[in-house]
Amino acid sequence: MATRPPTTTARLPRRLVLALAVALLPATPRAQSPLEIAVKAAYLYKFAPFVDWPAEADSTAPFAICVIGADSFGPVLERAVSGQRVGERPIVVRRLSLAVANPPCQIAYLGGTRAQPVKDALRILRGSPILTVTEGSDPAGIIDLGLVDGRVRFRIDEQAAADNRLTISSKLLSLALAVRPRKAAA
Amino acid sequence: MRPWRWRSDRARPSLVLASMAVLIASSLTVAIYSERQSIAQARAAAAVQARVLADTVTAALSFGDRAALKEYVNAMRANQQLDAVGVYDEHDRLVAGFTRSRLASELPHTMRAPGRIIVIAPVAQAGQRLGAVYLRDRGEPVGRTLSRYLAPGLLVVMASLMFLVMTLDAQALARTNRALGTQIAEREKAEAALRQSQKMDAIGRLTGGIAHDFNNMLAIILGSLDLLLRRYAQADPKMLRFAREAMEAANRAADLTRRLLAFSRLQPLRPTSADIVTAVNRIAELLRRALGEGVIVETVSAGGLWRAHVDLSQLETAIVNLGINARDAMPRGGKLTIETANTYLDRAYAEEELEVTPGQYVMVAITDTGTGIAADLIDKVIEPFFTTKPPGMGTGLGLSQVHGFTKQSGGHLRIYSEIGVGTTVKLYLPRSLAEIDRTKAAEAAPAAGCRRDVTVLVVEDEAGVREFAIEALTELGFDVVWADGPSGALELLDAHPEVSLLLTDVIMPETNGRVLAEEALRRRPSLRVVFMTGYTRNAIIHNGTLDADTHLVTKPFTVAGLGAELDAALTGA
ipTM of the complex: 0.74
Q: Are both B479 and B363 inside the same structural domain?
A: no
Q: Is residue B430 part of a domain?
A: yes
Reported as a single tens digit per residue, the pLDDT across B164-215 is 898 898 899 999 999 999 999 999 988 888 887 788 778 777 877 888 888 8
DSSP code of residue A54: P
User: Going by C-beta distance under 8 Å and a sequence separation of 6 or more, which residues neighbour residue B500?
Assistant: B454, B455, B526, B527, B528, B570
pLDDT score at A14: 53
Q: Is residue B250 part of a domain?
A: no
Residues B266-275 as b/e (b if ≥16 CB within 10 A, e otherwise) read bbbbbbbbbb
CATH number of the domain residue B107 falls in: 3.30.450.20
- For B95, counting Cβ atoms within 10 Å of its Cβ (0-12 exposed, 13-18 middle, 19+ buried), the class is buried
Domain that holds residue B519: 445-571
- Alpha carbon separation from A122 to A53, A100, A108, A113, B131 (Å, rounded): 18, 10, 10, 12, 34
B457 touches chain A (CB under 8 A): no
Say yes or no to pLDDT of B243 above 50.
yes
pLDDT score at A5: 44
Q: Are both B467 and B392 inside the same structural domain?
A: no
A93 compared with B435, residue with greater pLDDT: A93
pLDDT score at B100: 77
Say yes or no to pLDDT of B441 above 60.
no
Q: Are both B498 and B353 inside the same structural domain?
A: no
DSSP code of residue B477: T
Domain that holds residue A138: 32-180
Chain B interface mutation, best of A106, A168, A174, highest count of B Cβ atoms under 10 Å: A174
* Of the residues B400, B416, B438, the one at which a domain ends: B438
H or E stretch including B416? strand B412-418
Q: How far apart are CA B302 and CA B170, in angstroms?
A: 53
Q: How far apart are CA B58 and CA B77, in angstroms?
A: 19
Q: Which residues of A touch B94 (CB under 8 A)?
A: none
Nearest CA to CA, how far is A25 from chain B (Å)?
33
Q: Within a 10 A sphere around the Cβ of A30, how many other Cβ atoms?
A: 17
Cβ of B56 and A1 within 8 Å?
A: no
Q: Are both B134 and B148 inside the same structural domain?
A: no
Q: Is residue A15 part of a domain?
A: no
Q: Are both B170 and B290 inside the same structural domain?
A: no
Nearest CA to CA, how far is A169 from chain B (Å)?
9
Tens digit of pLDDT per residue, chain A (186 long)?
444 444 433 444 555 544 444 444 444 445 678 888 888 998 998 899 899 988 876 777 889 999 999 888 889 999 888 888 888 888 999 999 888 888 889 999 998 888 889 999 999 998 889 999 999 888 889 999 998 888 888 999 999 999 999 999 988 998 888 898 888 654
Cross-strand bridge partners of residue B341: B363
Q: Is residue A37 part of a domain?
A: yes
Q: What dihedral do alpha carbons B198, B199, B201, B204 form, nearest 10°? A: 180
Nearest CA to CA, how far is A13 from chain B (Å)?
24
Q: Is residue B434 part of a domain?
A: yes
Cβ of B65 and A86 within 8 Å?
A: no
CATH number of the domain residue B509 falls in: 3.40.50.2300
% of residues, chain B, pLDDT over 70: 89
Q: Which residues of A touch B125 (CB under 8 A)?
A: 49-50, 169, 171
Q: Is residue B260 part of a domain?
A: no
Averaged pLDDT of chain B: 82
Question: B338 φ, ψ to 5°?
Answer: -110, 120
Contact yes or no for B20/B159 (Cβ under 8 A): yes
Q: Which of A62-71, B316-325, B382-391, B517-526 has the lowest mean pLDDT?
A: B382-391
- Closest in A46, A86, A87 to B63, CB measured: A46
Q: Are both B396 and B493 inside the same structural domain?
A: no
Say yes or no to pLDDT of B552 above 80.
no
Name residues 4-63 of chain B within 8 A of A (Cβ): 55-56, 58-60, 62-63
Q: Are both B205 and B135 inside the same structural domain?
A: no
Q: Is residue A66 part of a domain?
A: yes
Say yes or no to pLDDT of B456 above 50.
yes
| Interval B131-151 mean pLDDT | 85
Q: Which of B230-244, B295-309, B350-364 has the lowest mean pLDDT?
A: B350-364
Q: Are both B201 and B228 inside the same structural domain?
A: yes
Q: Is residue B251 part of a domain?
A: no
Cβ of A171 and B95 within 8 Å?
A: no
Cβ of B59 and A48 within 8 Å?
A: no
Nearest CA to CA, how far is B107 from chain A (Å)?
17
Q: Which residues of A touch B60 (CB under 8 A)?
A: 175
Cβ of B56 and A171 within 8 Å?
A: yes
Q: Are both B422 and B480 inside the same structural domain?
A: no
Q: Within a 10 A sphere around the Cβ of B501, how many other Cβ atoms?
A: 19
| Interval B49-73 mean pLDDT | 88
Question: B45 φ, ψ to 5°?
Answer: -65, -45
User: Going by C-beta distance under 8 Å and a sequence separation of 6 or more, which residues neighbour residue B288?
Assistant: B297
* Of the residues B399, B423, B438, the one at which a domain ends: B438
- Closest in B59, B64, B65 to A50, CB measured: B59
Residue B428 half-sphere exposure toward CB, CA atoms < 13 A = 20
pLDDT score at B128: 82
pLDDT score at A8: 37
Say yes or no to pLDDT of B136 above 70.
yes
CATH number of the domain residue A95 falls in: 3.40.50.2300
Q: Is residue A50 part of a domain?
A: yes
Chain A interface mutation, best of B63, B70, B125, B128, highest count of A Cβ atoms under 10 Å: B63
H or E stretch including B554? strand B551-554
Name residues 80-99 of chain B within 8 A of A (Cβ): 89, 95
Nearest CA among B313, B194, B304 for reference residue B262:
B313
Q: Are both B207 and B318 inside the same structural domain?
A: no
How many domains are there within chain B?
Answer: 4
SS3 track for A145-164: EEEECCEEEEEEEHHHHHHC
Q: Is residue B561 part of a domain?
A: yes
Q: Are both B222 and B370 inside the same structural domain?
A: no
Q: Is residue A21 part of a domain?
A: no
Q: Is A89 helix (H, G, I), strand (E, B) or coil?
A: strand
DSSP code of residue A62: P
Say yes or no to pLDDT of B369 above 60.
yes
How many domains are there within chain A?
Answer: 1
Q: Are both B434 and B300 inside the same structural domain?
A: yes
Reported as a single tens digit per residue, the pLDDT across B375-424 is 888 777 877 777 777 666 667 777 888 888 888 888 888 888 888 888 89
